Structure 1
Amino acid sequence: MTRRWYLPHDRTAGTALASGAVLMLIAALVVLLGPLESSYPAMEMDCEREELFVAGGTDVSLRSQRRALIRRWNEGRYPDGRPHPHATPVEVAESTDLQHSQIKAVQESGSCAYDVLIMDNTWTAQFAEAGYLVALEDVAVRDDFFPAALRTGEWEGEQYAIPFNVDVGLLYNREGATTPTAWPGLLGSGVAMQLSGYEGLTVNALEAVWNGGGRGLLTGDGRPSEEELRETVYPALVGMAPYARGALAASRLYGERESIEAFASGTGLMRNWPYVFSALASEPRMRDGGRLRFGVRALPGRTVLGGQNLAVSAHSPNPGAAQDLVEFLSGTGSQRLLFSCGGFAPGRYSALGLAPDRRSPAGVEARACSSLTGEPLEPGEADAPGPAQLAELGRAVVTALTRADPRPVTPHYSTFSSTFRDCVQKIFDRAGLDAHEFAEAVSASLDGRAASC
């Protein structure tokens, strides 16, 4: 019998959600009414606390492993025997866009409500430049982090965030489905993608640009010229448009959940993130006893380097303890648990049995969740996924990391993303958007200027 996992109802989770509700209300007030005055009583009272609050998105890891890691921290002690300060997770929203707006609103207000931030790796430039983050010193074993992932936490020569988990585009295939090895074949296959109007559309469209002749553009620190936007980026998106109106039409309604359901219900192929593997592995429709009815591999061509980073709020009343918690969550032991028990791809080589000088996907090693936690299995139960299946996922992730590029590094990323995907939708809809208008709008958005296609 395959072991299945359910979210337990316990006092820790209840406290987290109750605390989260209060802080989400504060964030909503900030969005609606503007920054809170420093004399706001709740802020003053919070600033005298010793408890740590960890703000991030909804925990979609299998078995709520992010919460489980924070419980481990709460049960632990420092080397000198002192107990760790208690930490409480605050899940502010499920979508990346809402996470950004709510956490940004609280940080912008100067509130000390949050100590540790779980951030999308595109937020570093904006949050660091605005003074929301503490520069991290003496990051433990820096060379053990995947280099490209670690760089997403840098801004102007300082390290402000470190990887919690990495994300790369993976290709999931059901048994019997033909797996394309090139990008055009993938688009024409009816693969389930994430093309509805949120950050997922930005990600999928960037991958289309990079694999459609625009490699190296709209990535990292490089700033494309308007000519490059007109003559290379725009044509790549125009080339994807017939697929968006044809084989990929259903995907225009899909976010991550919808694409997962489409795949589980019979769609042959799906582009999605690593965490989906473990969720599918425990889904009865996707198993035949201990055997999986699907496989996973690196996405053909270039992919977006996504993921979440850990940072310390500049307004935390306990920055030293907050950095201790960041180091705990990003350490090898926590990263192994996050991978084997939670299904999230780790940010360190060591969590996959690799080393900086030994990076071959063939060397990936993985252990079953129960062997890491010591939690006994019931008679007839088995870990899902098991070690061999986790190793398959690890090999796909390491291979994809060699083809992964970051999204544009700019303090104005949210402006860029909303403008870019608005333009992409108009291109898909044949709304009369020409290359010149596209280039002007995207270029302006990279500077933080409001623009529309």
Structure 2
Amino acid sequence: MRKLAVLFVCLLCLAACQSDPAPVSFMVFGDAAEFAAYEALVAAFEESQTGVDVTLTHIPSQGDYRTRLATDFAAGTPPDVSLLSYRRFGAFAAADQLEPLGAYLDDSDVIARDDFYPITLDSFTWGGELACIPQNISSLVVYYNRDLFTAAGVPEPADDWTWDDFLAAAQTLTLDLDGDGVTDQYGAGVEASLYRISPFVWQNGGRIVDDPANPSQLGLTREPSLVAFEWFVALQTEHGVVPNREAEASMDSETRFINGTTAMYLNSRRGTPTYRESAAFDWDVAPLPRGTQAAGVLHSDAYCLSAAAANKDAAWEFIEFANSPAGQTIVARSGRTVPSLIAVAESEAFLDPAVRPARSRVFLDTIPDLQMVPLLSTWAEIENTATEEIERAFFGDISAEEAAILARDRTEEYFTLALRP
């Protein structure tokens, strides 16, 4: 009888364990279309097994998401799994707040290092260890309104178009439609930031930092870099093909593009779900116009595991599934990502000809030209501070040269304080 009682208790414990899946928290940002993709991902994962229960938290604003993550990590209560850009994960990795995932990946029977585009793994390597598993590999591209191009008789952008071609198209497509002296349609829209000017600096043979291997200051004051910066600024201050400060404040360029009153908008792949859902016109993508050479800037996010997570193995199960061919296919079909898995990027899940953009292969063809911004623990501060001066130049408050000097001087302390991989 005693043995039967013990056996009964053991069976009850086993049943309790089986009915109580391990909880894993997962936090993401993005608009409704992006969030729907992650809801589908979590649902598919939970259908595939019964041992892990994922709680999904959605922060719509990217800025609010960054603030929330920083606050939660500082308080010791971060989500188990979060999406981080390679531009920003360094601050968390340097503080030992992330669980390295290289060993998990090497032990996986589902995914392997060779499955990924190499630059994505490089961009999340810290201290010789793979810190996070990359989800995507986007470049900056030009989204363009095909209807506006056709109406104006402007040829669609070629794969090898130049800065001059871009400017000429933007000038033709910038229009005062009612003759009141106010621009109603802009040729282009672009965020005035260090991240956005970087590929143009590289295309002109310049550098955004003095030494890419061991950066100690920004390099925008050097002539090839400054010339590219001046070209970028002149789009607004000289040519007026992008909105000025007042126009941008009244309606931002992305909204103008969605509304059909901006012909071209520079963005990464993350804009695709929104444009599919909200743009009531025919649109497509083109590579960045070329300078003296081709160059693009890497956009990549990764699933990162908090070092404070109570159920690391369970969290890894979710990360592994999310980056399996099945998981990446789900998110890729939403349009949100250029998959970091080579096989999924080359599949119809990403290159589906039935959905926009028709020229999705542009994202893959430009991968060999991608470059990374530096991996530094203080890169977010460097980027934000430099962007303040770049915006001032872009909207005509100061010259590009003055902005380059101020950006260099104001960020010097962040370079000094930076921890490096």
TM-score w.r.t. the length of structure 2 is: 0.75
Q: Are positions 1:58 and 2:30 aligned together? A: yes
Q: Residue deviations 1:236-271, cap 9 Å, x none?
A: 323322222233441752899742542541432222
Q: Does 1:214 align with 2:203?
A: no
AA at the equivalent of 1:172: Y
Partner of 2:309: 316
Taking a change above 3 Å as real, the CA distance of residues 255 and 102 of structure 1, as seen in their structure-2 partners, is farther
Distance 1:306 1:284, change over 3 A: closer
In structure 1, what residue type is equivalent to 2:121? Answer: L
One-letter amino acid matched to 2:162: A
Q: Partner letter of residue 302 of structure 1?
A: A
Alpha-carbon deviations, 1:324-347, whole Å to 9, x = none?
111111111111121123442111
Q: Pick from 427, 435, 444 the counterpart of residue 413 of structure 2.
A: 444
For 1:391 and 1:188, the matched residues in 2 are separated by: 23
Bigger radius of gyration:
2
1:344-423 map, 5 Å:
344-353=337-346, 365-367=347-349, 386-389=352-355, 392-423=358-389
In 1, Cα distance between the equivalents of 2:211 and 2:370? 10
Which residue, 263, 285, 291 being the options, matches 1:296?
285
Alpha-carbon contact 1:54-1:90 (below 8 Å) kept: yes
The reply to whether residue 340 of structure 1 matches residue 333 of structure 2 is yes
1:183 partner amino acid: W
Q: Distance in 2 between matches of 1:232 and 1:444?
A: 24
- Counterpart residue identity of residue 346, structure 1: P
C-alpha contact (below 8 Å) 1:163/1:308 kept by paired residues: yes
Q: Is the 8 A contact 2:189 2:253 kept in 1?
A: no
- Equivalent position amino acid for 1:316 in 2: A
Aligned partner of 1:240 among 208, 232, 237: 232
Residue 186 of structure 1 and its aligned partner are, at CA, apart by 2.3
Residue deviations 1:376-428, cap 9 Å, x none?
xxxxxxxxx95454684441110122221122211001110111101212323
Asked if 1:157 is matched to 2:121, the reply is: no
1:130 pairs with one of 95, 98, 107: 95
Give 1:158 deviation, angstroms.
Answer: 0.6
1:194 aligns with 2:183: no
Is 2:21–2:52's contact at 8 Å kept on the other side of the alignment?
no
Residues 72 and 49 (structure 1 numbering): CA distance in 2 closer, same or farther, change over 3 Å?
A: closer
> Is contact 1:73-1:84 (8 Å) kept?
no
Q: Is the 8 A contact 2:332 2:349 kept in 1?
A: no
DSSP-derived class of the 2:104 partner: coil
Encode CA deviations 1:191-246: one digit per residue, 9 max, x unaligned: 433326xxxx2321223322344157479645265677444434432332222223
Give the Cα–Cα distance (whole angstroms) in 2 for the partners of residues 434 and 234 of structure 1.
10
Distance 2:286 2:33 in 1: 20
Question: Is the contact made by 1:221 and 1:410 (CA closer than 8 Å) also made in structure 2?
Answer: no
The count of aligned residue pairs is 358
Aligned twin of 1:88: 55
Q: Which residue of 1 aligns with 2:5?
A: none
Farther off after superposition, 215-224 or 160-169 = 215-224
SS in 2 for 1:126: helix
Distance 1:391 1:225, change over 3 A: closer
Paired residues for 1:30-41 under 5 Å: none
Q: Please, which runs of 5 or more residues in structure 2 have no aligned partner? A: 1-19, 106-110, 171-186
What letter matches 1:272 in structure 2? N
Distance 1:256 1:308 in 2: 28
Change (3 A) 1:68 1:93: same
TM-score normalised per structure 1: 0.70
Report what 2:398 is aligned to: 431
* Pair 1:280 & 2:259 matched: no
> 1:387 & 1:310 partners in 2: Cα distance?
28
Q: Could you report, residue by residue, the CA deviation over 1:50-99 in whole angstroms, capped at 9, with x for unpaired residues?
A: 4111122135545711111011112221xxxxx1311011123422x332
Q: Judging changes above 3 Å, is the alpha-carbon distance between structure 1 residues 391 and 237 closer, same or farther for their aligned structure 2 residues?
A: closer
2:13 alignment counterpart: none
Which of 48, 56, 70 does residue 42 from structure 2 map onto?
A: 70
Q: Which residue of 2 aligns with 1:19?
A: none
CA distance in 1, matches of 2:310, 2:99: 12
> What do residues 267-302 of structure 1 show as CA deviations (whole Å, max 9, x unaligned)?
32222222333443445722xxxxxx2222322332
Q: What's the CA shift string for 1:24-51, capped at 9, x where partnerless?
A: xxxxxxxxxxxxxxxxxxxxxxxx9941
Higher relative CO (CA 8 A, sep ≥ 6), structure 1 or 2? Answer: 2
Match of 1:100 in 2: 66
The secondary structure found in structure 1 opposite 2:257 is helix
Q: CA deviation at 1:314?
A: 0.7
- Partner secondary structure for residue 86 of structure 1: strand
Counterpart CA distance in 2 for 1:225 and 1:209 is: 15
- With over 3 angstroms needed to count, the CA separation of the structure-2 counterparts of 1:141 and 1:171, relative to structure 1, is same
Provide the identity percentage.
Answer: 17
Separation in structure 2 between the aligned mates of residue 313 and residue 420 of structure 1, nearest angstrom: 29
Amino acid at match of 1:277: T
1:262 — aligned with what?
Answer: 257
Q: Report the CA distance between 1:306 and its aligned residue.
A: 0.9
Q: Is the 8 A contact 2:140 2:267 kept in 1?
A: yes
Whether the aligned pair in 2 keeps the contact of 1:173 and 1:296 (CA below 8 Å) is yes
Consecutive unaligned residues of structure 1, counting only runs of 5 or more, are 1-47, 78-82, 287-292, 354-364, 369-384
